[in-house]
Amino acid sequence: MPMPTALEIARAATLKPIADIAEDIGLPPWLVQPYGEHVAKIDLKAIEELADRPRAKYVVVTAVTPTPLGEGKTTTTVGLGQAMRHIGKRATIALRQASMGPTFGIKGGAAGGGYSQVVPFETLNLHLTGDMHAVTAAHNMLSAMLDSHLFQGNKLGIDLHNITWKRVLDVNDRALRNIVIGLGAAADGVPRQTGFDITAASEAMAVLALSTSLHDMRARLGRIVVGYTAAGEPVTAEQLKAAGAMTVIMKDAIRPNLLQTLENTPVLVHAGPFGNIAHGNSSVVADLIGIHSGDFLITEAGFGADMGAERFFNIKCRVSGLRPDAAVVVTTVRALKAHSGRHRIVAGQPLPEALLVENPEEVHLGGANLRKHIGNVRAHGVTPVVAINAMPEDFASEHAAIAEIAASMGVRSAVCTNFTDGGRGAAALAEAVTEAAQEPGDFRFLYPAEVSLREKIETIASRIYGADGVDYAPLAARQLDGYERNGFGGLPVCIAKTPLSLSHDPSLKGAPTGWRLPVREVRASVGAGFVYPICGDMRTMPGLASNSAAERIDIDENGEIVGLS
């Protein structure tokens, strides 16, 4: 009998009323605003009210360099959170919010999978409490006020050829990547070229994720740079008098959302910044609440340890003041086989037959990638644990090969079957994480804030990616010089590159050496609080594929959603 779909599993679950979930993490009723029976928003006053309670162990879940299919990082995060109850611990999970672009595209939802997922499934993947729409509206309010300012005479002297602020939409739509606005009559605005990004790529989303309070969000929104004058001076949302309106639109969005897993483990779902041009982590305020809600707070960082985890350590932890106690590095047999360089995996296509043949030697060959990511975690003084996410096509000898790689580096590992077995399938991982989190911590940032932007870039490139050096295009060099002059040099850096390789080139698998990182341009998210060098062609507005999920999602004769995955 085939395994039920994620949606079927979710609908068969026995959910607790959200008030009970809130009570489980010590939230009194006056801090909880229900959105129906199984979702709630949490008042930010909870940060102060819970502050005197014991601090949970803080665990970040990261991964090896992913294949286009993904390696089950969210599923493992949820499974680990559920597993803690099986070993007598209380855990809270913190996750990013799903974007509807990927939900209706190839990737599908962001609830986890199998018997390790967040519920209600449909609510999580479709709108939730409307935070994405609030970010969209706030971002586009600034866009509208910017273009109105240009139309009304451009008193700030904004250079039409140096405007960095676009518009956003939470839909995959490649036709909007590059557009011309202001066409028609003179009253229709100033014609100029611009475009759309997906909402998850908005700096307003990154601001939401990194704010520590409502007033901090207001200040960060005001610092957003929308463009520059002819003299190279930055022009901000505050100067356009737009930050107040943006804050009002996002006033409710800054409150984290409370949901639960299939096994009733509390889950804080909040903010969804892009994982390549932004830091790719859930919100600081959710973690500031969750850190006092039980024995463990388990959060997830986007993509591999070279991207989401590096930014978790060097950007998010700088803001929150929290220090991780352990890190889980998720891997799969198929990922390490892919990093052997012998296979080509394409999203939406069947796995290559050769990938499914028992071959522990090939796992060892691709193990260089796992070793590098273990090293990336250790570079920050954090103890890693390897989670071997089991797939039906795996062989025991291949799991053993991964365990041997971990053991050779003195790292704990555990095979996880939580996709099919729920929390009990990750109990061994939970035990290993509990042991790792007890070890003395030596957390450290990769670089001090006061060094130059170039030194920060070069430190990440050499120590985390394995590059021999960095090459700056003339434009990038000029932009870095300008950012230093404008006082942005103290910001951390968030390098935008492909997630499919430790390098900038997605074709380079494993742990490539003998290469240099090319930086073609550099942008500043001053409101969010980081500078992001761009390496390669970054798509900030995805397109729909020929077989996108949107073609299959519908309602049945009973009005129930079908086709959501």
6-130+253-437 CATH: 3.40.50.300
pLDDT at 544: 87
pLDDT at 107: 64
Say if domain 453-534 classifies as CATH 3.60.70.12: no
Domains 6-130+253-437 and 131-249 in one fold: no
Is 70 exceeded by the pLDDT of residue 226? yes
pLDDT at 6: 87
Q: What is the pLDDT of residues 176-198, one digit of tens each?
A: 999 999 999 999 999 999 999 99
Fold of 131-249: Domain 2, N(10)-formyltetrahydrofolate synthetase (3.30.1510)
C-alpha to C-alpha distance for 484 and 123, rounded to whole angstroms? 44
How many other C-beta atoms can be found within 10 angstroms of the C-beta atom of residue 244?
Answer: 13
Q: Grade residue 548 by pLDDT with cuts at 50, 70 and 90.
A: confident
pLDDT at 9: 93
Query: Facing residues of 234 across strands?
Result: 228
Q: Calculate mean pLDDT across residues 384-400.
A: 96
Is 80 exceeded by the pLDDT of residue 153? yes
Is 70 exceeded by the pLDDT of residue 541? yes
Is 80 exceeded by the pLDDT of residue 415? yes
Lowest mean pLDDT among 24-33, 101-110, 218-227: 101-110
Q: Grade residue 108 by pLDDT with cuts at 50, 70 and 90.
A: low
pLDDT at 536: 81
- In the chain, domain spans: 6-130+253-437, 131-249, 453-534
Is 70 exceeded by the pLDDT of residue 220? yes
C-alpha to C-alpha distance for 55 and 322, rounded to whole angstroms? 10
Lowest mean pLDDT among 66-70, 73-77, 240-244, 400-404: 66-70
**466 or 341: whose pLDDT is higher?**
466
CA proximity to 419, closest of 343, 330, 340, 286? 330
Residue type, 46: A
pLDDT at 426: 98
Q: How far apart are the first and last CA of the chain?
A: 19
Indicate the SS3 state at residue 552: coil
Model pTM score: 0.96
C-alpha to C-alpha distance for 39 and 19, rounded to whole angstroms? 9
Q: What is the pLDDT of residues 469-512, one digit of tens each?
A: 999 999 999 999 999 999 999 999 999 999 999 999 999 999 99
Q: Grade residue 67 by pLDDT with cuts at 50, 70 and 90.
A: confident
**371: which DSSP letter?**
H
Q: What is the pLDDT of residues 445-472, one digit of tens each?
A: 999 999 999 999 999 999 999 999 999 9
pLDDT at 133: 97
Contacts of 517 (CB under 8 A, 6+ apart): 457, 461, 465, 467, 469, 470, 471, 495, 497, 503, 504, 535
Q: Calculate mean pLDDT across residues 312-335.
A: 97
